[in-house]
Amino acid sequence: MTEAVHAPSYRCSSTLDFGGAGGRLCLQTSTGLTPAGSHPHPRFFSGFLTEPGAAAAALLSVADVAAARYHRQFPDASRDPVVTGNGDRLRFESFSACGGVYARLDVLAAGLDGGEVGHGTTNVDVNDPLREALARVGGADPLHLSVGPDELAVATPDGAVVEKKVPLPDRWLRGFAETQVIASTFDLRGEVPAAEAVRFLRSLPRGSRDPGWVVPGGRTLRRTSRPVPGAVCLPGPVRLAALGRVLRYARALRVYGPPVTARSEPVAAAWEVVLPGMRLTLTLSPSAARGFSGEGSALEALADADAADADRVAALLAWEPRLDVADLAEQAGLAPARVRAALTLLGTAGRVGYDTAEAAHFHRELPYDAAHAERRNPRLRMARSLVAAGAVRLDGDLAAVTVDADRVHRVRSGGGESTCTCPWWTRYRGGRGPCSHVLAVRLARGTVVRPEGDSR
């Protein structure tokens, strides 16, 4: 059963009121973390949106994803997006109910006017009446935005808070951890202008959940049934439906993905629509049937990570919108590889994300209990138990992992890859992250005590 880990509550419901020469969009915040610590209803911005039509459509797209289930569709309650103030921009993030689509809207400095952006992270209320109102925002309508309690906001008649009945699930946190690791392997594969973006996205088969591939070529995108070097996976075109809301405001479409070959299996990919003053990105898991929470991409980095390193790096994050690994390494006195592992460990608690457009991590503090990262990763927990029990026997590139009296699995390591004789590895062959036995061998090989101050 999926464990719910955070139930947001608000002073009142978010509203969009039209009147006079424009409108007022008041997005109410829940309990969140700020530089000053926890705050019941932090305020991150009060000013104008320079492109209100595009911003309203993009925010609706993020809400669409939070309400969608692309695999085994059945009615499901919508969850509230997460909002982060990074000092120079606002980020709105959500996951689909099935966990296979991650959406992020970055409203950059050029998209905001007349107010300072604060620092912190929390949930923001997006209710059904607000969605209906956002759909009526026109491109020329001035729109004032408040993220946090507004001085004109009206509380509920009895003075009570508005508490959502649908708390955010544990799989959202696991999804945040996985996507920041997966996205860090992506490169920009292609960029096409607005007209081609509209043509391509509108040409996709509606309702299709079948995996496919896209080959960027100059200023166009071409669909193909097989992977080729330079191609980007399109695992389920129906999962790009949320981009339809913003196409009339699009300036370009960018596609990101990992390196692939002619023999590659479906992989995750990111699709970014460039808007005036903002970016809307959808990251898709390798299959409509797979949620990000079970991908296992963070496990190897977690096995290598050091809690002390993570604490040292965490003290330097400072709500930066762009984290430079080299700068963090110099400030922390750690090797870049250890900083990257520390960022991954911090990501399991929702404390960092990854922006494909800028190829950099960013700081956020999700409103979750961060004390149970190990519990959220049963394969890693099992691996540590096997090492602690002395079940791993190393012999050069080979290793034997004794699970019980009747089961001994063989792990072979070499060339940066590992294989195992267990059913998990036979079924997925590393496509869903390492099995617990590979992790146990990795932990056993890496069990060293570093001298104090050693930064290797």
Q: Give per-residue pLDDT as tens, 219-244.
A: 899 999 899 999 999 988 999 999 99
pLDDT at 292: 81
Does the residue 350 lie in any domain? no
Does the residue 209 lie in any domain? yes
Does the residue 347 lie in any domain? no
Beta strands in 318-358 (DSSP E): 352-355
Residues 50 and 196 in one domain: no
Residues 407 and 285 in one domain: no
Residues 163 and 185 in one domain: no
Buried b (16+ CB within 10 A) or exposed e, 202-238: eebeeeebebbbbbbeeeebeeeeebeeebbbbbbbe
Q: What is the pTM of this model?
A: 0.84
Q: What angle do CA 343, 344, 347 make, to 5 degrees?
A: 90
Does the residue 257 lie in any domain? yes
Query: Which residue among 122, 147, 167 closes a domain?
Result: 167
pLDDT tens for residues 61-119? 999 999 888 866 655 666 889 999 999 999 999 999 888 999 999 999 999 998 899 99
Kindly report the CATH number assigned to the domain that includes residue 19.
3.10.150
Does the residue 154 lie in any domain? yes
Does the residue 337 lie in any domain? no
Least confident interval from 19-28, 187-196, 321-330, 390-399: 19-28
Q: Say how many residues make up the chain.
A: 456
Residues 276 and 409 in one domain: no
Average pLDDT of span 176-203? 92
Helix (H, G, I), strand (E, B) or coil at 338: helix
Residues 163 and 190 in one domain: no
Residues 36 and 152 in one domain: yes
pLDDT at 37: 87
Helix (H, G, I), strand (E, B) or coil at 62: helix
Residues 15 and 142 in one domain: yes
Domain range enclosing 113: 4-167
pLDDT tens for residues 402-448? 998 889 999 998 777 889 999 888 887 777 778 889 989 988 887 43
Query: Which residue among 117, 149, 167 closes a domain?
Result: 167
Does the residue 324 lie in any domain? no
Residues 72 and 96 in one domain: yes
Number of domains in the chain: 3
Residues 271 and 403 in one domain: no
Residues 109 and 163 in one domain: yes
Does the residue 299 lie in any domain? no
pLDDT exceeds cutoff 50 at 168: yes
Residues 127 and 217 in one domain: no
Query: Which residue among 138, 167, 196 closes a domain?
Result: 167
Residues 141 and 196 in one domain: no
